[in-house]
Amino acid sequence: MQESPTGPTRTPGRRRARRTTGALACAALVLPLLGAAPPAGPAASAAAQDTGRLQRAFTRAAAEYHVPVSVLLGVSYLQSRWDGHAGAPSVTGGYGPMHLTDARTALARAPHHSADSEDPRGDTARAALHPDVAVPAPSALPDRLRTLPRAAALTGIPAERLRTDPAANVAGGAALLAAAQHKLGERLSADPADWYGAVARFSGADDTATAAAYANDVYEVIRSGQRRTTDAGQRIVLAARPAVAPRTAQLARTGLRHVSADGTECPATVSCEWIPAPYEEFGGDDYGNHDLGDRPKSQSIRFIVIHDTEGRWDGVINLVQDPTYVSWNYTLRSTDGHIAQHVKAKDVAWHAGNWYVNAKSIGLEHEGFLAAPDSWYTEAMYRSSARLVQYLAAKYAIPLDRQHILGHDTVPGPTTGTIPGMHTDPGPYWDWRHYFQLLGSPIEPTAGKNGGLVTIRPDYTANRPEYTGCETSGVPCPDHGSSEVRLYSAPDTSAPLIKDIGLRPNGADSTVDVNDVGSRVETGQQYAVAERRGDWTAIWYLGQKAWFHDPAKQPAAVDAAGLVITPKAGLDSVPVYGRAYPEKEAYPAGVPVQAVSPLPYKLLAGQRYVVGDVLPGEYYYAVTFTPDSHRVVVGKDRYYEIQFGHRVAFVRAADVQVRPSAP
């Protein structure tokens, strides 16, 4: 959410880390890392060499509880892709390969849309909106967040073992499935087709649409089959069963409520409900929490922005319904991938901290926490999000690449003064490579070594850069896979990190803090190659030559080709912008001229940056509750969106020339 919630006693997810003393309290909850790390020593080493023990655990549990092994494996894949996460919980307190939930302890967090100095609306034509937000009372934990204690009661296995022992966790999941089958009055059949209702109930959803979407995903996995090596080195195979046709009529006997998808803009393949963000006046000229528009008729939608909520589902849903708060288009739930839509695509939500991007984007909030790397996202949420993004991208002709599917952390500050306050979610632990595979647009090489570009693509699990500040400033974060790659000023890990003068105008060094994006590149982003030297590759980044370690045996990037921009002949440098606003002559009477303010960076002669899009200079004027005064101002100036640093940026087409990246 950034524009928003952030962390408790830790300094997490700034989305940006919370620094303000008066940060608003909220019922957004973060779950503690209760699970113990796996044992170390010779026994652990021997166990790690047995790469088939988890597969055998699935087989044993299936036999003991009379659950088809394909059903057990399919459910586990959708929960965790069979990963154990070393006993650490997911963002909603789910443990182990079966994502058994134990959310009995939680900590209050502050809403990130109110954190720091950022104005999520991102438009100085109207005052920043950071009102007092009523604190919703924490509600009783729903059943979907208490499955691990039930598994302990069914199996007799202690809760601590269910959290930390993957084999025990699988047994607990099998017991829950068998119990759900009994409750439906179904026999413990060996035919996976007979378990549709139990799988739907296992999701923890309390409505038929969400439960059905979850069960359909599980059966899609069963039909197609899957194989992978888990985060603990365990090799798991689920053989394809293409002929399995589940008994979907069982859903009617689950007793789950019906939730209407009426009014939503979602694909039929996901569960979606309409929980509107209010468009209301609340005194004087103030109103909230979004603006009425007429997109794409009045202006195109070019971006989808991926956020994390930095809060728990119930608290976040309460906040978006507050007219004195801010807004985003969709929220996605971690446990089961359920989606709530709040703002229509035609209207403009206040979520990105950059009014130009707000006016041309749709914002998706994912239940999660940037600075809790072991609080992992479920496969159910990744898949639901990917389907929603595929649907929106097709509907609004948005390319499926990192110049259009933005992280909130890649949205530029609109002006120099806003850069330090911009948010950094979903952060280095969002698995962009897997996400783009689910989007049907996998990140692959598109050229040889002479293509002139690289697309960042480290191996998520093996790529483990050091970060600090997840719990306490300066203290190392847990060792964890990451989508990001660190940049140095020379081809040496002892060299200084690349500096970002926008983040630190005084010239101070970048850091490895989890929220410091000054010297990092991210999976899917493309950059022009400046030089190669042994196991190192240099790219053009923030006006500098930036180096990253790129050994052939474990590459951090793949080769690509495309279009790049460089300053026109005779120009030593050209300005870089955080928004693509029209020239002053384009503004009609009654609409204040918005400054075309350059950022503190320069694009220098001889440097090249990847072209993401060509866009008109455009400004959406909306400062009143009634939309009769709203205007979309379009100028003659054109801009190129470029990948300039960690964040995207814009340059005037009149200042640059476009050419192929290949020499």
Helix, strand, coil fractions of the chain, as percent rounded to 5: 25, 20, 55
- Is-contact 265 345, C-beta < 8 A? yes
pLDDT of res. 102: 87
pLDDT of res. 236: 98
pLDDT of res. 514: 93
- Is-contact 485 521, C-beta < 8 A? yes
End-to-end Cα separation, the chain, in angstroms: 41
CA dihedral 634, 638, 644, 648 (to 10 degrees): 30
Percent pLDDT > 90 in the chain is 77
Closest CA to 311 of 112, 503, 529: 112
List beta partners, residue 613. 641
Distance CA 537, CA 294 (A): 45
Q: Which two tokens stand for residue 568?
A: 């026109």
SS (H, E, C) 258-317: CCCCCCCCCCCCCCEEECCCCCEECCCCCEECEECCCCCCCCCCCEEEEEECCCCHHHHH
Strands 609-621 and 631-643: antiparallel
pLDDT of res. 140: 62
Residue with tokens 């410091």: 516
Q: Which two tokens stand for residue 239?
A: 């053989």
pLDDT of res. 403: 98
Q: Which two tokens stand for residue 492?
A: 């040496």
Q: Which residue has the higher pLDDT, 168 or 372?
A: 168
Q: How many CA atoms lie less than 13 Å away from 366 in the CB half-sphere?
A: 36
List beta partners, residue 256. none
pLDDT of res. 283: 77
Q: Which two tokens stand for residue 519?
A: 């010297």
Distance CA 358, CA 339 (A): 20
Domain ranges of the chain: 29-35+49-129+139-253, 565-660
**Interval 503-531: pLDDT, tens:** 999 999 999 999 999 999 999 999 999 99
CA angle 326, 327, 333 (to 5 degrees): 125
pLDDT of res. 374: 61
**Interval 619-662: pLDDT, tens:** 999 999 999 999 999 999 999 999 999 999 999 999 999 999 99
pLDDT of res. 292: 97
Q: Is residue 609 classed as helix, strand or coil in its secondary structure?
A: strand
pLDDT of res. 92: 82
Mean pLDDT of 564-570: 98
Q: Which two tokens stand for residue 550?
A: 């790129």
- Is-contact 122 327, C-beta < 8 A? no
Q: Which two tokens stand for residue 503?
A: 């983040």
Closest CA to 198 of 44, 68, 21, 18: 68
pLDDT of res. 369: 74
Cβ neighbours of 552 (radius 10 Å): 7
Q: Which residue has the higher pLDDT, 133 or 287?
A: 287
pLDDT of res. 123: 83
Residue type, 396: Y
Q: Is residue 10 classed as helix, strand or coil in its secondary structure?
A: coil
pLDDT of res. 125: 78
From the centroid of its chain, how far is CA 273?
20
pLDDT of res. 33: 29
Examine the pLDDT at 214 and tell me if it is beyond 70. yes
Mean pLDDT of 182-187: 97
pLDDT band at 383 (very low <50, low <70, confident <90, very high): very high
pLDDT of res. 107: 35
**Interval 442-479: pLDDT, tens:** 999 999 999 999 999 999 999 999 999 988 899 999 88
pLDDT of res. 136: 40
Examine the pLDDT at 23 and tell me if it is beyond 70. no
Which H/E stretch holds residue 199?
helix 196-202
pLDDT band at 311 (very low <50, low <70, confident <90, very high): confident
Give, in order, the Cα–Cα distances in Å from 501 to each of 353, 421, 506, 520. Answer: 19, 14, 7, 14
Residue with tokens 């030593």: 572
Distance CA 656, CA 642 (A): 12
Q: Given 1.10.3470, 2.40.160, 1.10.530, 1.10.1200, which CATH number is that of 29-35+49-129+139-253? A: 1.10.530
Cβ neighbours of 37 (radius 10 Å): 13
**Interval 581-626: pLDDT, tens:** 999 999 999 999 999 999 999 999 999 999 999 999 999 999 999 9
CA angle 659, 545, 405 (to 5 degrees): 60
Examine the pLDDT at 17 and tell me if it is beyond 80. no
**Interval 142-172: pLDDT, tens:** 888 889 999 999 999 999 999 999 999 999 9
Residue with tokens 């002479």: 450
The per-residue pLDDT of the chain, averaged, comes to 88
